[in-house]
């Protein structure tokens, strides 16, 4: 075995340099030269040059005049430093029925919204009658917790609320949703979807945004 130890040490160092340093440096060099926007996170800048997000990373939205993303398990919601899903299984009471706040511990709010509460809230926000079917992506948390997309059915159900909050015609908002619907890649792969951040950005650029949405 000892005859193989020296080559092992030399191989570890040589390959660490080759695969661990030279390869990523080479890729970084080419990527920064050829695809600088993508390589740095597809960041979106506002008119005054501030970075306001990444087109690939979802953001939390709760105001009525914005489309709302899926619920998120990343940190306290859409936190890229803590990406991940709920990891709750199909028979989890927490997943389905949620958790109430534990009144014994006064400092922190331990309540957790299950599918039940999320569905009720969704109906309430969007003026749907009790028991109206809610699209499943609107009440389930994604794998990354950063899912930038919602389903088309989900977006269309939110359109009347957004139109009303902005004083826009519902048909205009629906048309905007249609325009922001990304099709399947190559016409086959993946699912049709709506990028919430890009859609909301476009809405904010339009007139009709009430004063409350200005930070």
Partner 1 sequence: MTVIGWAQIALFSLILLVLTKPLGLYMARVFQGERTWLDPVLGPVERLVYRLFGVDPREDMRWTTYALALLAFSLVSMLFTYAILRLQGLLPLNPMGFSTAKAPSYATPMTPDLAFNTAASFTSNTNWQAYSGENTMSYLSQMVALALHNWVSAAVGMAAAIALIRGFARRSAQGVGNFWYDVTRCILYVLMPICLVYALFLVSQGAIQNFAPYTSVTTLEGAAQTITQGPVASQEVIKMLGINGGGFFNANSSHPFENPTPLTNFVQMLSIFLIPAGLCYTFGRMVRDTRQGWALWAAMYVLFFTGVLTAYHFEAQGNPNVARQGVETSTKQLGDVGGNMEGKEVRFGLANSALFATITTDASCGAVNSMHDSYTPIGGMIPLANIQLGEIIYGGVGSGLYGMLIYAILTVFIAGLMVGRTPEYLGKKIEQKEVKMAMLFILAGAASILIFTALASVMDLPAESALNRVGLSSTYYGPTYNNINNSGPHGLSEILYAYSSGTGNNGSAFAGITVNTPFYNLTIGLAMLIGRFLMMLPALAIAGSLATKKHVPASAGTFPTHGGLFVTLLVGVVIIVGALTFFPALCLGPVAEHFLMHGGRLF
Site for partner 1 in 112-141 (CB under 8 A): 115-116, 119, 123, 131-137, 139-141
Cα separation, 200 vs 148, in Å, equals 12
**Minimal distance, residue 107 CB to partner 1, in Å:** 15
User: Which string of DSSP letters, residue by residue, matches 30-45?
Assistant: HHHHH-HHHHTT-EEE
Closest by Cα among 180, 172, 182, 183 to 201 = 180
171-200 residues in contact with partner 1 (CB under 8 A) are: 184-186, 188-193, 197, 200
The reply to whether 64 sits near partner 1 by the rule CB under 8 A is: no
| Size of the residue set binding partner 1 (CB under 8 A) | 109
| Cβ proximity to partner 1, 115 vs 168, nearer residue | 115
**Encoding tokens for residue 92?**
């989890």
The reply to whether 90 sits near partner 1 by the rule CB under 8 A is: yes
Contact with partner 1 (CB under 8 A) among 47, 59, 125, 178:
59
**115, 177, 190, 191, 193 from 185: Cα distances, Å:** 30, 18, 6, 8, 11
The reply to whether 206 sits near partner 1 by the rule CB under 8 A is: no
The reply to whether 166 sits near partner 1 by the rule CB under 8 A is: no
| Cβ proximity to partner 1, 6 vs 47, nearer residue | 6
Cα separation, 80 vs 77, in Å, equals 9
Query: DSSP class of residue 151?
Result: -
**Minimal distance, residue 139 CB to partner 1, in Å:** 6
Cα separation, 156 vs 141, in Å, equals 19
């Amino acid at each position: 075995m000892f005859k193989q130890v020296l080559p092992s040490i030399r191989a570890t160092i040589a390959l660490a340099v080759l695969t661990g340093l030279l390869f990523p440096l080479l890729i970084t060099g080419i990527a920064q030269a050829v695809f600088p926007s993508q390589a740095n996170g597809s960041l979106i800048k506002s008119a005054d040059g501030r970075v306001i997000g990444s087109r690939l990373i979802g953001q939390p939205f709760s105001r009525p005049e914005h489309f709302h993303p899926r619920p998120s398990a990343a940190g306290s919601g859409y936190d890229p430093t803590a990406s991940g899903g709920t990891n709750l299984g199909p028979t989890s009471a927490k997943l389905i029925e949620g958790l109430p706040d534990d009144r014994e511990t006064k400092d922190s709010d331990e309540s957790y919204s299950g599918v039940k509460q999320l569905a009720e809230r969704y109906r309430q926000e969007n003026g749907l009658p009790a028991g109206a079917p809610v699209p499943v992506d609107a009440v389930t948390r994604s794998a990354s917790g950063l899912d930038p997309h919602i389903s088309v059915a989900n977006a269309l159900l939110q359109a009347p609320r957004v139109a009303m909050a902005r004083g826009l015609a519902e048909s205009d908002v629906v048309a905007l949703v249609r325009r922001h619907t990304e099709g399947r890649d190559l016409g086959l792969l993946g699912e049709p979807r709506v990028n919430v951040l890009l859609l909301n950005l476009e809405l904010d650029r339009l007139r009709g945004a009430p004063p409350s949405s200005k930070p």
